[in-house]
A and B are shown apart, each in its own frame.
Chain A
């Protein structure tokens, strides 16, 4: 991977945009958890706190028309891939104005206009589906790339292994983005995974595997951009392992006392928004730029929350639609 490639330069404009995405993810997650805590909403939610920078930087390496397949823990990916806040919030709240008319919910976000094609609640299953998106682009001679985003635990399921092999054999324009947040539910990487670096697994499938610090916006962006460029050039898939961290329990409200205090504290520092802000400000992004981004994002979230809360839930009759092309009888 050529990190000094000027086409992947970490410009001030890019730094600003990554900060915006990361801040949006961070505040959306925070606001959503607050609403779950105070009972304004009651849904299953897989927090993304700690993984903001990973998604913000990785998705910045994509074009809007590139495809993304993500998981139940996908709020960060969805926002970074450009889903409008209002539609996302309304879907999270189960409203008819949501991306999926309230039929999908937080675990099943889809929004083709910005390339978010599938969000799956089945660990690892999105990986072969991303291959299919890439295969279609390959057959059609389009210049699009597909990204499968998944966790460290997902690299232990069969679908991962079948999909990497197939993608390599067919040189598909796909990037496998493993967000290694060190835990699969309560199971540590060491307890459940035969390798210490997931990127090593790429060797078994004849493709490059690269690890990077997923909390470093520049490293994350450039690693991803190189993999995307490789896929777009027709040179085949890459397994990118982003070292990141899950700063909450697996699911909102779940106990996470099994995470050692020291480890959590160190990760909190590495993944802190203050640290990101500092790094971004070293990139010719001014304090007033940052303050303006924050103000805009805060307003965007408040507007989206209000939109979601005042929107109507789906009509019960809506259940008959979208099972098949033709509606089903009552």
Chain B
């Protein structure tokens, strides 16, 4: 780290800038991404079209299928397109390009073509955008062999994950949380990389493992402080890559703590937590002192009115309660 601080949005902008400077094949396309259109709705590509030209930083028509289709086509001949899908729900009108093409062309071509494509997209509840602008849909993509999905919990990781995603020879979807853009943190050195598929230990502890990613990391760290006040040492694992996820890091931690809670913002049923919980049970059943707990959002569309939105989102208290559910038995006995 350089000793400076940087915002999440600035980190992403710097990652794109550095990647474009390093490799002429890196290009950006998406709605309103060029400076004439404002440099992106969240300003992540600000300044880049002025610096690299509108051939490499292209504002597109409102055509998600055409955006991702063009990105797939360019990627199979060695460009490194970074496509911005303004909000994650808008991917639904272009699922075909990701699921049937980006994910499968390497395999179906017998390895003759690959798709080094990055999709950046934003989402998240809590800011009153309601039902069609807030969903966390990572589990859909995690279910498709051939895709990778990652999400950062701090600015340095945002930079490092985006650089690694652009380097990667396979399609990567990067989810940004809409509440994160203003978050500040230590700035990474230029060229910093966070390897895909590698989790980080955000806080060490020996009593219970909180497995999480994205926004859940900050909330789990808050829960860990509250738990520490009660004498429970929680370890927080930031997966960073959701698929393929770092099983070894999670198993190593849970083998030590013998208790696990999975925390994510996406709704609970069939969420990423279900797979992670199942794998922990498969690998460590006899080590566990309690069933794995899941903390996630309530299965409804993301509501608009504040009390409903609050009822939808999990809370830090929910994480603490879930940790208690895994520890009570051991502590009481």
Q: Which residues of chain A have a CB within 8 Å of any CB of chain B?
A: 67, 69, 98-104, 108, 110-112, 117-118, 120-122, 125, 127-136, 138-139, 146, 158-159, 162-163, 165-166, 169-170, 321-325
A165 in contact with B110 (CB, 8 Å): no
B112 within 8 A of A: yes
A117 in contact with B76 (CB, 8 Å): yes
Q: Give chain A nearest CB distance to B64 CB in angstroms.
A: 8
Given the interface pairs A125-B101, A323-B145, the reply to whether A98 lies near B110 with Cβ below 8 Å is yes
Say which residue of A125, A130, A322 sits within 8 Å of B107 (CB atoms). A322
Given the interface pairs A117-B76, A165-B61, the reply to whether A131 lies near B70 with Cβ below 8 Å is yes
- A sample of 6 cross-chain residue pairs with beta-carbon separation below 8 angstroms, ordered by A number, consists of A112-B113, A117-B113, A133-B74, A159-B69, A165-B66, A322-B110
Give the complex CA separation of A112 and B105 in angstroms: 12
Q: Give chain B nearest CB distance to A175 CB in angstroms.
A: 14
B97 in contact with A128 (CB, 8 Å): yes
Give the complex CA separation of A324 and B149 in angstroms: 13
Instruction: Beyond the given A99-B109, A125-B69, A158-B93, please list 19 additional residue pairs across the A-B interface where CB-CB is below 8 A.
Output: A100-B108, A103-B110, A110-B113, A111-B112, A117-B73, A121-B100, A122-B96, A125-B96, A125-B101, A128-B72, A129-B70, A129-B72, A129-B73, A132-B69, A132-B70, A133-B77, A139-B27, A159-B96, A166-B66
Given the interface pairs A69-B73, A120-B100, A132-B72, the reply to whether A323 lies near B108 with Cβ below 8 Å is no
A100 in contact with B66 (CB, 8 Å): no
Give the complex CA separation of A129 and B66 in angstroms: 8
Given the interface pairs A118-B76, A139-B56, A162-B63, the reply to whether A128 lies near B70 with Cβ below 8 Å is yes
B146 within 8 A of A: yes
Residues of B with C-beta under 8 A to A323: 106-107, 145-146
Given the interface pairs A128-B66, A128-B97, A166-B66, the reply to whether A104 lies near B110 with Cβ below 8 Å is yes
B18 within 8 A of A: no
Residues of A with C-beta under 8 A to B109: 99-100, 103-104, 108, 110, 322
Give the complex CA separation of A323 and B70 in angstroms: 21
B113 in contact with A159 (CB, 8 Å): no
Q: Which residue of B lies closest to A164 (CB)?
A: B66
Residues of A with C-beta under 8 A to B70: 128-129, 131-132, 135, 166
Q: Give chain B nearest CB distance to A122 CB in angstroms.
A: 5
Give the complex CA separation of A142 and B101 in angstroms: 25
Say which residue of B55, B65, B66, B77 sits within 8 Å of A138 (CB atoms). B55
Residues of B with C-beta under 8 A to A322: 106-107, 109-111
Q: Give chain B nearest CB distance to A143 CB in angstroms.
A: 14
Contacts of B143-169 to chain A: CB distance below 8 A: 145-146, 148, 168-169
Residues of A with C-beta under 8 A to B68: 128
Give the complex CA separation of A162 and B69 in angstroms: 10
Give the complex CA separation of A138 and B54 in angstroms: 12
B219 within 8 A of A: no
A100 in contact with B169 (CB, 8 Å): no
Q: Give chain A nearest CB distance to B18 CB in angstroms.
A: 19
B12 within 8 A of A: no
Give the complex CA separation of A121 and B104 in angstroms: 12
* B contact residues, total (Cβ < 8 Å): 45
A-B contact count (CB 8 A): 150
Give the complex CA separation of A162 and B60 in angstroms: 11
Residues of B with C-beta under 8 A to A169: 61
Give the complex CA separation of A128 and B83 in angstroms: 14
B290 within 8 A of A: no
B75 within 8 A of A: yes
Give the complex CA separation of A159 and B97 in angstroms: 10
Given the interface pairs A132-B72, A324-B146, the reply to whether A120 lies near B79 with Cβ below 8 Å is no
A325 in contact with B60 (CB, 8 Å): no
Give the complex CA separation of A129 and B77 in angstroms: 11
Q: Give chain A nearest CB distance to B167 CB in angstroms.
A: 11
A136 in contact with B74 (CB, 8 Å): yes
Q: Which 9 A-B pairs have the closest CB atoms?
A: A132-B73, A128-B69, A101-B110, A100-B110, A110-B109, A162-B66, A162-B63, A132-B70, A129-B73
B114 within 8 A of A: yes
Residues of A with C-beta under 8 A to B108: 100, 103-104, 108, 110
Give the complex CA separation of A264 and B55 in angstroms: 48
Give the complex CA separation of A138 and B77 in angstroms: 13
Residues of B with C-beta under 8 A to A122: 96, 100-101
Say which residue of A102, A125, A138 sits within 8 Å of B100 (CB atoms). A125
Given the interface pairs A100-B110, A159-B65, the reply to whether A136 lies near B77 with Cβ below 8 Å is yes
Give the complex CA separation of A122 and B72 in angstroms: 15
B107 in contact with A136 (CB, 8 Å): no
Residue-by-residue, is B48-89 near A (CB-CB < 8 Å gives 1, otherwise 0)? 000000011010110111101111111111110100000000
Q: Which residue of A lies closest to B168 (CB)?
A: A325
B107 in contact with A132 (CB, 8 Å): no
Given the interface pairs A132-B72, A158-B65, the reply to whether A324 lies near B170 with Cβ below 8 Å is yes
Residues of B with C-beta under 8 A to A117: 73, 76-77, 113
Residues of A with C-beta under 8 A to B55: 138-139
Residues of A with C-beta under 8 A to B81: 132
B69 in contact with A103 (CB, 8 Å): no
Give the complex CA separation of A150 and B137 in angstroms: 32
Q: Which residue of A lies closest to B71 (CB)?
A: A132
B107 in contact with A135 (CB, 8 Å): no
Q: Give chain B nearest CB distance to A240 CB in angstroms.
A: 19
Give the complex CA separation of A136 and B106 in angstroms: 19
Give the complex CA separation of A77 and B148 in angstroms: 33
B27 in contact with A125 (CB, 8 Å): no
Give the complex CA separation of A134 and B167 in angstroms: 22
B112 in contact with A100 (CB, 8 Å): yes
Give the complex CA separation of A129 and B79 in angstroms: 13
Residues of A with C-beta under 8 A to B244: 324
A166 in contact with B27 (CB, 8 Å): no
B60 in contact with A166 (CB, 8 Å): yes
Residues of B with C-beta under 8 A to A100: 108-110, 112
